[in-house]
Amino acid sequence: MSWKIVYTAGAKRDLKNIYEYIAYNLLVPETAARQTQRIMKEIRSLDNMPMRFRLYDEESWHSAGLHFFPVDNYLVFYLPDESRKTVNIVRIMYGGRDIRRQLSETEME
């Protein structure tokens, strides 16, 4: 059975910010489009076996069941809800940033 993928407001904002940074700050809109497409393609693959990626080690996210996986230099954080067969994409972050701080500022939606 296929799982439904849902982007939180924070994840949508992250994806938009990734695109805008690459397109407007680095001035490579084609690369920005390809990068966001790669991220979304990998996220779509979560519709099958979303538990295959590891849990995030830090509490309270670990206990909540937060999983993550890399896409190039970015990390996708998500919460699978087995009872609803839904994968909630929580955040999409550049791997070189302070992940712990950014997650601490993230609300579970």
CA distance 42 to 99: 20
Question: Nearest to residue 71, comparing CAs of 18, 6, 12, 4?
Answer: 18
DSSP 12-61: HHHHHHHHHIIIIIS--HHHHHHHHHHHHHHHHGGGS-GGGSPBPSSTTH
Rounded Cα distance, 8 and 26, in Å: 26
- How far is Cα 12 from Cα 38, in angstroms, rounded to an integer? 15
pLDDT tens sequence for the chain (109 residues):
699 999 999 999 999 999 999 999 999 999 999 999 999 999 999 999 999 999 999 988 999 999 999 999 999 999 999 999 999 999 999 998 888 888 888 876 5
Query: Rounded to an integer, what distance in angstroms lies between the CA atom of residue 49 and that of residue 38?
Result: 19
What's the pLDDT at 96? 87
What structural domains does the chain harbor?
A: 4-104 (3.30.2310.20)
Region for residue 49 given its phi and psi (left: phi exceeds 0; alpha: psi -120 to 50; beta: otherwise): left
What is the pLDDT, as a whole number, of residue 78?
98
pTM (2 decimals)?
0.93
